[in-house]
Amino acid sequence: MDFLAATHNVGKRDEIQRILEHLGIRVLIDREVGVRLREPEENGTTFEENAAIKAKAAVEDSGMPCIADDSGLVVDALGGRPGVYTARYGGEELPFPQKIEMLLGEMDGVPEEKRTARFVSAVVCAFPDGRTITVRGECEGIIGFMPYGEGGFGFDPIFYYHGKSFASLPPDEKDAVSHRGSALRLLVQELENMLDS
């Protein structure tokens, strides 16, 4: 069974694929199925609302079951920012190394015990018949003082979980603890229930 990931981020698609593949689901991106997904306006106020906007638009554009994730970094010392604006933090065109520099600049002088943060992921799976599944995962950690690691994407180099940055974890270790991994495992449960019925 083929599902479309409502993302252009191949790293994100690969994470989804690794967790769903045992269900016999193949996760593709738009260019692999010959469709062009529009970029709907993500004007929701929650991760769940934005994921639903993306999933439903992708179903309309493709006619396929679609999985959309809206995820972000919630930093306590910054009052929860960047939150739902994580991808747009500092401007949509600003590359992530510069976003990381900017965030570390905002955190300058914040001691380790106050650098608590969490990654949040809301995943919505939408079907052409109108059914949807919504799940949420979170991972608690801290914002490091400097980036570390070559893997992952986004803010992974400065998000530390049990002393290791997400960017330094092998993919299977990251999947086991990450916000997206948690949400996708919940999605697997929901899909299994749906397929059984």
User: Distances from the Cα of 20 to the Cαs of 16, 80, 83, 111, in angstroms?
Assistant: 6, 30, 26, 39
CA-CA distance, 132 to 68, in Å (whole number)? 11
Instruction: Evaluate whether 147 touches 154 at the Cβ level (below 8 Å).
Output: no
Alpha helices in the chain (DSSP H): 10-20, 30-33, 47-62, 96-106, 171-177, 179-196
Instruction: Evaluate whether 104 touches 112 at the Cβ level (below 8 Å).
Output: no
CA-CA distance, 37 to 59, in Å (whole number)? 9
Nearest to 124 by CA among 175, 49, 29: 49
Nearest to 146 by CA among 78, 89, 83, 100: 100
Q: Name the residues annotated as catalytic.
A: 70
Cα dihedral 185/190/193/196 (nearest 10): -80
